[in-house]
Copies of this chain bind each other. A is one copy, B any other.
Amino acid sequence: MTAIQKQRPPVMADVAKEAGVSHQTVSRVLNDHPNVRGDTRARVLEAIDKLGYRRNLVARALVTRHSRTLGVVSFDTTLYGPASTVYGIEQAARAAGYFVSIVSLTSIDKAGVRDALDYLADQGVDGIVVVAPQRSAAEALADLPVGVPAVAVEGGQAGDVAVVCVDQVEGGRLATEHLLSLGHETVWHVRGPSDWLEAEGRVAGWRAALARAGRAAPEPLAGDWSPRSGYEAGRGLARMADVTAVFVANDQMALGVLRAFAEQGVKVPEQVSVVGFDDIPESEFFSPPLTTVRQDFGAVGRHSIGVLLRQIEADGPREPERLVVPPTFVPRVSTARR
């Protein structure tokens, strides 16, 4: 004869009945509306506590048209760079009271990015962060679902979308100038894939530094960010007699280069100096510890959320921001005076 236990969690109306007020008053308490009497508020809070009430965010999102969820599109979150950026984004978003919904792409094509954007827009996210280091991804941003605030991370000049990025050109310049300042005649380069904007930026910085010093730029060697591709480039470099300095576009490839040199009996830094890029946690313990250029991924993540939230809070369209985070040079022992 006992009443049937209700399976469903309590709703606002249940709390209202328990506290002897209207559901609207419960809503006011929950939303910190000022005009609620102290004892009423207390009674409502007590009822909430007693019933174990939790507000239904889905219903709330339906009426407010805000989900307090941010979408993140990224590519291969297994890589240190993207993983760190996404981590920074997630931390910053949560600190600001937002959820983060993530889509990790496996393929790099424009269609994939568009699908991901549609997917997130369908879900009703309030804004989207696209970690789009490839040219193709950046292009897909151009036809973003209208009205959804967005920011591109490492996105180059992507239409009228706001951008947060690390100054890759400056990074390439720092690495190359360091090597030139050590007395090397020229600097070789193992570059990243050509559709990655970061790779292009580092190449540009390297070229600029060489040009400024009046040195010829050798043909860069192609890599795909993986240690293996660095290893293969390294084998090629080890065979050339005139190579004394190499700027490698990321630390993982630099590891491969170091390995190839070690196998060929080329001593680093005595015979050849090597500079990497990223400053992954491992770099300090390579043989030898790697001189590199650090990117502050945490700052990138925080800034991108900052830019995005400013866009969300501003009602009207605002002119797209562009925020550049400077890289820092990290000297270790893989480079030496010629």
A3 to B96, CA, bound (A): 39
Residues in B whose Cβ lies below 8 Å from that of A76: 87
Given contacts A77-B77, A101-B100, contact A287 B287 (CB under 8 A): yes
**Cα-based distance from A101 to B230 in the complex (angstroms):** 35
Q: Are B226 and A252 neighbours in the complex by a CB distance under 8 Å?
A: no
> Does A329 belong to the interface (CB within 8 Å)?
no
Chain B CB within 10 A, most for which of A56, A86, A281: A281
Q: Which of B87, B228, B230, B255 is the one whose CB lies under 8 Å from A104?
A: B87
* Bound form: Cα–Cα A138–B307 in Å: 36
Copies in the complex: 2
- Which chain A residues (36-79) contact chain B, with CB distance < 8 Å? 54-59, 61-62, 67, 69, 76-78
| Besides the known contacts A69-B123, A99-B123, 17 further A-B residue pairs in the complex with CB atoms under 8 A apart | A55-B122, A56-B62, A56-B124, A57-B124, A77-B77, A77-B87, A78-B80, A78-B84, A87-B104, A91-B106, A100-B101, A102-B102, A227-B282, A252-B281, A255-B286, A258-B285, A259-B285
Q: Which residues of chain A have a CB within 8 Å of any CB of chain B?
A: 54-59, 61-62, 67, 69, 76-78, 80, 83-84, 86-87, 90-91, 94, 99-104, 106, 118-119, 121-124, 226-228, 230-231, 252, 255-256, 258-259, 262, 281-282, 284-287, 289
